């Protein structure tokens, strides 16, 4: 497996690197498997979706989440590395927040899992700051000129999580019914949550 330029694919390079680390006794393959399984099943966008759904259905929790994101997220049992200080901002019909990390790929792992490849892409990181409306449109999110866009820059000190707008027509849905609607992209601010 190679890329169009002839370089080995990311999957092939990753497998080769893991094999070298295991062969040299630097990494236990069971630890690698456990780490991957943890981020696939216990940590990830599903956690963030649970946080958002709770905020949509519980006004008191929503207030705590917007006032002190990290503590409110911990109320639901989510926390850990890369989630030591999470600030939550709310999207409204007139204000849209979008998250980027201009330095590297700082990301709130406990609630969103591992960052997607586009989030780490230098073009996304640079262009989102300069021309957010254009980049969002290219990603499929058209916002009216009356919507103010604020770009939030995640750092090693603070990670951002977007509380997306609750879609119209979902008022009758329970917290559990809302969770599957909420995507990672909506919690980064590059998409909106669609009604079912």
Whether 106 sits among the annotated catalytic residues: the reply is yes
Pick the closest to residue 67 from 83, 82, 89 (CA basis).
89
Quote the distance between the C-alpha of residue 103 and its chain's center.
Answer: 16
pLDDT band at residue 36, thresholds of 50, 70 and 90? confident
For the chain, how are helix, strand and coil distributed in percent, rounded to 5?
A: 45, 10, 40
pLDDT band at residue 99, thresholds of 50, 70 and 90? very high
Q: What is the pLDDT of residue 39?
A: 66
pLDDT of 5 > 90? The answer is no
Which residue would you say has higher pLDDT here, 91 or 115? 91
Q: Which of 104, 117, 156, 174 is catalytic?
A: 104
pLDDT of 13 > 70? The answer is yes
Q: pLDDT tens digit string along 84-96?
A: 899 999 999 999 9
12 — phi, psi (to 5°)? -65, -45
Whether 117 sits among the annotated catalytic residues: the reply is no
pLDDT band at residue 2, thresholds of 50, 70 and 90? very low
Whether 174 sits among the annotated catalytic residues: the reply is no
Residue 161 CA to residue 66 CA, distance in Å, equals 10
Q: pLDDT tens digit string along 133-181?
A: 999 999 999 999 999 999 999 998 999 999 999 999 999 999 999 999 9
Mean pLDDT of the region 29-35: 84
For the beta carbon of residue 35, count every other beta carbon within 10 angstroms: 12
Whether 105 sits among the annotated catalytic residues: the reply is yes
Residue positions in the annotated binding site for Fe(3+)?
A: 101, 104-106
């Amino acid at each position: 497996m190679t890329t169009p330029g002839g370089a080995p694919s990311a999957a092939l390079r990753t497998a080769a690197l893991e094999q070298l680390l295991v062969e040299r006794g630097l990494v236990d393959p069971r630890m690698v498997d456990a780490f991957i399984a943890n981020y696939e099943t216990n940590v990830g966008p599903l956690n963030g979706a649970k946080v958002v759904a709770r905020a949509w259905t519980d006004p008191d929790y929503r207030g705590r989440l917007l006032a002190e994101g990290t503590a409110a997220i911990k109320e639901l049992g989510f926390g850990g590395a890369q989630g030591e200080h999470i600030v939550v901002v709310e999207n409204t019909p007139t204000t849209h927040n979008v998250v980027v990390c201009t330095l590297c790929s700082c990301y709130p792992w406990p609630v969103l899992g591992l960052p997607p490849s586009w989030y780490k892409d230098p073009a996304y990181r640079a262009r989102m700051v300069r021309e957010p409306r254009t980049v969002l449109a290219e990603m499929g999110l058209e916002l009216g000129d009356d919507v103010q866009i604020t770009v939030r820059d995640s750092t090693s000190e603070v990670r951002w999580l977007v509380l997306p707008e609750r879609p119209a027509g979902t008022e009758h849905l329970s917290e559990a019914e809302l969770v599957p609607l909420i995507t990672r992209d909506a919690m980064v601010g590059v998409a909106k949550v669609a009604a079912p």
